[in-house]
């Protein structure tokens, strides 16, 4: 969702006759399947897929491939040889930057000790281990205490908030 304006601007600047069809599945893998099928039926030439669930998304790749539509896996690695491209970020670097921003923000408030909760990304996402290792590496070099940690399925903000509320 955050990348959408930049993505659409880049497409428009590269291909004036192209139209971007957009949908957000709101962390619902079944809804994403329906949206992808709809775009394929409407004649999509390329499918850019930020998979809600990397395993569930394999059926989307199969449906697109059957129609001769290339799939670009965006931000979530999809273990499928039919994926034409994979575009993502450096998870180790992002994890270090996120954790360091947290540590710096706490230090700016005079907080160098205390307990924190850590919510890691989805185990179905190949980016999660690199993010988690880097985050824990930075946090492990501080005097902060990790009170609890978990993984959040589908990177769901709602599930993360629910977990944090339960911990508190």
CB 46, CB 72: distance < 8 Å: yes
CB 105, CB 142: distance < 8 Å: no
- H helix intervals, the chain: 4-14, 29-41, 58-66, 91-108, 128-139, 157-167
pLDDT digits (tens, 9 = 90+) for 129-162: 999 999 999 999 999 999 999 999 878 889 999 9
Give the global pTM.
0.76
pLDDT digits (tens, 9 = 90+) for 37-52: 999 999 999 999 999 8
pLDDT digits (tens, 9 = 90+) for 24-34: 999 899 999 99
């Amino acid at each position: 969702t955050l990348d959408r304006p930049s993505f659409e601007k880049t497409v428009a600047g590269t291909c004036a006759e192209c139209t971007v069809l957009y949908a957000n599945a709101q962390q619902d893998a079944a809804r994403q399947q329906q949206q992808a099928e709809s775009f394929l039926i409407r004649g999509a030439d390329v499918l850019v897929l930020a998979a809600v669930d990397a395993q569930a998304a394999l059926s989307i790749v199969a449906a697109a491939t059957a129609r001769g539509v290339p799939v670009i896996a965006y931000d979530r690695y999809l273990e499928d040889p039919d994926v034409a491209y994979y575009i993502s970020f450096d998870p180790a670097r992002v994890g270090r930057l996120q954790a360091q921003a947290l540590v710096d923000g706490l230090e700016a408030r005079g907080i160098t000790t205390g307990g924190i909760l850590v919510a890691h990304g989805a185990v179905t996402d190949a980016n999660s281990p690199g993010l988690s290792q880097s985050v824990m590496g930075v946090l492990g070099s501080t005097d902060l205490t990790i009170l609890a940690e978990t993984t959040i399925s589908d990177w769901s903000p709602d599930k993360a908030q629910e977990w944090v509320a339960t911990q508190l």
